[in-house]
Structure 1
Amino acid sequence: MNIPDNRPRRAGRLMWFAAWLSLLGVLVLGFEFWLERQYNPNSELAAISSEGPAEVVLQRNRAGHYIAPGLINGQPVQFLVDTGATRISVPEGLAQRLGLKPGFASRVTTANGVATVFDTRLSEVRLGSIRLHDVPGNINPGMPGDMVLLGMSFIKDLELVQRGDTLTLRLH
């Protein structure tokens, strides 16, 4: 009696399964990359360096915000440009990781109501080629996540030009 050998068929099915699984993995990674670019089109921030002043051009994300990577005291952070914030506002957990020292407590009005924050000084804040020293900031214990609000304590020294979906920041 002859028993058929199903090993080649089984190996073929396994190869098809592996191919479909690999294709699915590539699609998921591609979709994640696309979503990240929609959320933060400035993830690879390009600084324009020329003979003139330091300048950075940001693209608006799908939600209408300007988000960009930057540095506080040499440590990488994500900034959300917020012209309604008086100072740079750092979430408490991130402030601890950055080694920021909390100073005097004060009450501020935010989009979510009144909050208690702690004054701090940021030795250096960098956005692309724009670098400022000794910038006032706040440590905000009630602020979730790691997004830093890039407020007017940084922006006040810049010229802002918005055209369409781009925001140009220029140090004057």
Structure 2
Amino acid sequence: MQAPEPTNPYGKTFAIIAWLIVMLMLYLFFQDTIDKQLNPNQQLNSVQGSRGETRTVLIRNKSGHYVGTALINDTPVDFMLDTGATTVAIAQRTAEKLGLPFGAQIQVNTANGLSSAWRSRIDRLQLGDIVLTNIPASIVPNLGGTEILLGMSALKQLEFHQQGNQLTLIQHR
């Protein structure tokens, strides 16, 4: 069944505005659901273990990656866990926004081939209640997006276990 066609120009304008409002509301409603599917770890929670260790659990996203939101020097940044990355890799735009230092220029081997990058250092990286300090990083100018690749320069300081769709990060004190 089709809705009757409005007969005056104000009715047509109102109908168009009403449909645009409905579409905007649907977009806003479903955008939150899509964001949670892409980054199910927007709020990282931690627990203290029986031996004083700190545990933070990550849930795998719908693409099979461990993506979350960390704090770098108290600024929220989305990350993707990458055990194949030697250091924490940060896009140049993100590094500038975070005020990270640009050190010596180096060559890095990325999935897209050989690229230039700069050495850098993260003063403080927080994953839930897990806090890492003085983390070596690379600022990669052609790294797409704004999320960082959480590489082994950070992960080597943690123990981690995967079971099913969960990855538990463990920091021993």
Unaligned stretches of 5+ in structure 2?
1-6
DSSP-derived class of the 1:42 partner? coil
Compared with structure 1, are the counterparts of its residues 116 and 21 closer, same or farther at alpha carbon in structure 2 (3 Å cutoff)?
closer
What root-mean-square deviation, in Å, do the aligned CA atoms of Structure 1 and Structure 2 show? 2.2
2:76 maps to what in 1? 76
* 1:21-60 pair list within 5 angstroms: 22-50=21-49, 52-60=52-60
1:115 maps to what in 2? 115
Judge conservation of contact 2:71–2:127 (CA < 8 Å) in 1. yes
- State how far apart, in whole Å, the 2-side matches of 1:155 and 1:39 are: 22
DSSP-derived class of the 1:63 partner? coil
**Letter of the structure 1 residue corresponding to residue 107 of structure 2:** R
Quote the offset at 1:139 in angstroms. 0.8
**TM-score of the superposition, structure 1-length normalised?**
0.85
Q: Does 1:91 align with 2:101?
A: no
- State how far apart, in whole Å, the 1-side matches of 2:47 and 2:15 are: 48
Judge conservation of contact 2:43–2:128 (CA < 8 Å) in 1. no
Please tell me whether Structure 1 or Structure 2 has the larger radius of gyration of its CA atoms: 1
* Percent identity for Structure 1 against Structure 2: 39
DSSP-derived class of the 2:34 partner? helix
**Letter of the structure 1 residue corresponding to residue 26 of structure 2:** L
Quote the offset at 1:50 in angstroms. 4.8
**Letter of the structure 1 residue corresponding to residue 124 of structure 2:** E
Unaligned stretches of 5+ in structure 1?
1-8
- State how far apart, in whole Å, the 1-side matches of 2:168 and 2:78 are: 18
Compared with structure 1, are the counterparts of its residues 57 and 13 closer, same or farther at alpha carbon in structure 2 (3 Å cutoff)?
same
**For 1:62-91, what per-residue CA distance to the aligned partner results, in whole angstroms no more than 9, with x for missing partners?**
111111111111221111100000000111
Q: Does 1:166 align with 2:166?
A: yes
- State how far apart, in whole Å, the 1-side matches of 2:91 and 2:17 are: 44
Quote the offset at 1:148 in angstroms. 0.5
Quote the offset at 1:48 in angstroms. 2.3
